[in-house]
Amino acid sequence: MAYITEFITRLASRRPLSEAVNAKVSSLLLEVSSSDAEIALRRMDSSPDGLLDRESEDRLLIYGPNAIVHEKHRNPVWQLLFYFKNPLNILLLTLSALSFYLGDTEAATIIAIMVALSVTLTFVQEYRSSHAAERLRAMVSTTATVLRKDRRSGVPDEVNRYFNIHLTPHGPQRREVPIDTLVPGDVIQLSAGDMIPADVRLLTAKDLFINQSSLTGEALPVEKFSSLEIVKGKDPLQLGNICFMGTNVVSGTATAVVVLTGSDTYFGALAQMVSGERQLTSFDRGINQFTWLMIRFILVMTPLVFLINGLTKGDWMEAFLFSMAIAVGLTPEMLPMIVTVNLGKGALAMSRKKVIVKRLNSIQNFGAMDVLCTDKTGTLTQDKIILEKHVDIYGHENEDVLEYAYLNSFHQSGLKNLLDVAVLEYAGLNDQLRAGANYRKVDEIPFDFQRRRMSVVVEGKNRHLLICKGAVEEVFSCCTRAEVNGQSVALDPSHLDKLVQVTRELNEDGFRVIAIAYKETPATTITYNVKDESDLVLVGYIAFLDPPKDSAREALAALHRHGVTVKILTGDNEVVTRKVCHDVGLKVGQILLGADLEAMTDEQLATATENVVVFAKLSPAQKARVIKALHLRGHVVGFLGDGINDGPALKAADVGISVDTAVDIAKESADIILLEKSLMVLEEGVIEGRKVFGNIIKYIKMGASSNFGNMFSVLGASAWLPFLPMQAIQVLTNNLLYDFSQTAIPTDHVDEEYIAKPRRWDIANITRFMLMLGPISSIFDYATFAIMYFLFKANTVAGAPLFQTAWFVESLLSQTLIIHIIRTGRIPFVQSRASLPLVLTSIVICTVGIWLPYSYFAHVLGFIPLPLQFWPYLIGILLGYLTLAHLMKSWFVRRYGLN
């Protein structure tokens, strides 16, 4: 038995069959597709009546449940701990532990609270978003109709009826079973509305249409049949007698044998491609780069401060405590919190616009995105087939064509396919046509796959009409005349040239074309057959299209204005895609097909992606490869998709975007889920992402430049002064107050010119800014040192409290006020004003800083009142610092840009 051989092979290899899934899909499916139904059943060790119960049970043990690998969700405790592994959090917790060990419990507590708050905010937001996404998951169907050759012996009929086991008088049992219990060899029945529960080979099929858009991107359903296929060189998705898990039946009925289940299916292969660890996005890499930049400064600075103060002052314990305080001061401990609060604020703003943010980091990636790759169906188009044209044989609009098409679709028996529904919906708006429904149906010649046409015969207006519709070539073959300007004329070679030209032009415009023909028949005839489909009069064509969304053109223009290039990655054909792109104003030059892409090297593809806008007939792996090629060219890439075939691309992108109606694999791979599939929502997300990034960068630039300047100030003062330039408790208090002043940054406004184009991490730019602005702050620190040392004679140990108090106040006020210079590329307070919360926190912290030397806490913190003569000098120092900082910032923006 083949399935026993399979079992032995698995045990010997100790690996799941899914590791070779591509070979499996390409070989086994091709094999059964190229065999007739009887041979295909024997290949699967099955029969037309299905499997025995015990065979099904044995195979379930061998192959496992018919279930797809989903993204593994961490236990909440492990997920919470996972967020602590950030290097900055590890450094802060280490400093907190050292401070606690050395008896500085206040500093230890403050640092630990900052880390805990940041981690908790991140955990709560992403945990809640993940559960919201879980609630969106809903399988189309949970059971399948399967045939069994016998029921369990000894089980009463009442029990069989309870479990919905249907007994047939002389044949197999028909059962509704959970889809995860299906095994290779099971024979299943399919009907309209069913989800295909596995990869199956059709045994019988009647009028079967399958919607494969989630796999291929094609909007129109495809016909499937049970006859054997010539499969040489064919993509499995093009096999006419194979149906794939995750697709669904639009119309018709069928029986099929299960070939592949679970992770061995085509769907399963895609699920495994997206179930591993995610790659770091541009946001993650940027945060890590900045974090390590700061850590390197700390690792250099802290030992230097310790050694210099230990050697010059002789008190090594005091030097150690001071160096630990400096390490805390240099650490951007608010960064995790600022980032998380910014992202959380962005997620809240986006939730009001019907967007669920699954991963907070993706909000910034939205802003950095300069290329958006998207599928065509449902994004640029309405994902709905409509009747677009009804024309005569010369391509001119003709109402008679619509009336004939309406009568045919209205009187057709059985389940209407999507094209019939489109005709009825379109014609239903016409009162005259609705009245035409008063025709009486006489007979019908059903559709079949050999003729590829169907006819109805109706009686009305004192005549019998046979109305035929179907594939253009098949209807042509039955026509001897054509209707031109209301007159029936004989078809001749001159007409045929025009017929071919009109249908070719419609096809090139992306239309699905159906021909309409008719003839009058004797009123005495009441039964008709295929032979009556002859000597027809060709009246014209009806043409269908998945039309563009009304908002698509406007949305694409808005994205373009904001510096986002849109590229189309579709499994559909290039003709339809070119037409849709033209209708929405997307300029299309060369179209790169999947077959051509496959022959390219990664370097060649990366070069091609710069100029190609449309990629058509792509497989899922090819979509992901295009995104990786764009990464090679330095782009930050977003991908919008909702189909099974979009999973790998969603995961490969910097920001994966899906919709709530998407298949499970797409929602699991996505970073963001839209509750409506609209490019306008994406444009709003891009703006929100840039605002978030802009506010994060404000804190980073300020923290980096301030810390770099402090490094020079502390090193110089430590080597020069006979005492510590600031006590450890003062450093920590300064740091705490300064950090509090920055908590309002997430509420700040972002200038319009900043959000006008994509923004991404540029560590080189941040480093340049730090190297330029940091020494400027040191200049004014040294000016303060000189004033206190020479004018106020604070140059001995006795004068240390005065010196330390003065530098504390100057340092706190300058760091608090500089954010108003750094936050904008414009003139601060005049052309750009900070948000009210940021202004208020700045005022509060400056007031506290001025008040502390005169307060009850002054003695505890080692402060003394500052002389009144000091304040004019301080005002001059602050004005000079802010003015010079603004001038240097303006030059920097002109030279290097806003980023």
- What end-to-end distance do the CA atoms of the chain give, in Å? 66
Distance CA 837, CA 834 (A): 8
Say if residue 837 is exposed, middle or buried (CB neighbours under 10 Å; 0-12, 13-18, 19+).
middle
Beta carbons of 787 and 873 less than 8 angstroms apart: yes
Q: In Å, what is the CA distance from 590 to each residue of 48, 190, 596, 853?
A: 49, 41, 12, 71
276 phi and psi angles, rounded to 5 deg: -85, -170
Pick the closest to residue 522 from 509, 507, 532 (CA basis): 532
3-state secondary structure (DSSP) of residue 718? helix
- Name, in order, each residue with C-beta under 8 angstroms of 65's C-beta and a sequence gap of 6 or more: 180, 181, 262
- Which strands sit side by side in the sheet containing 672-674, from one edge to the other? 355-357, 672-674, 655-659, 637-640, 371-374, 565-569, 614-616, 591-593
Given the residues 194, 199, 375, 420, select the one marked as catalytic. 375
The answer to whether 375 is a known catalytic residue is yes
Q: Which two tokens stand for residue 543?
A: 């043409």
Q: What residues pair up with 513 in beta bridges, in sequence order? A: 543
797-807 residues labelled b (16+ CB within 10 A) or e (exposed): eebbbbbbbbb
Q: What residues pair up with 542 in beta bridges, in sequence order? A: 390, 514
Pick the closest to residue 286 from 704, 789, 761 (CA basis): 761
Q: Which two tokens stand for residue 248?
A: 């669904």
Helix axes 316-330, 679-720, angle to 10 degrees: 160
Distance CA 171, CA 646 (A): 42
Three state DSSP letters for 40-68: HHHHCCCCCCCECHHHHHHHHHHHCCCCC
What is residue 223's DSSP assignment?
E
| Residues designated catalytic | 375
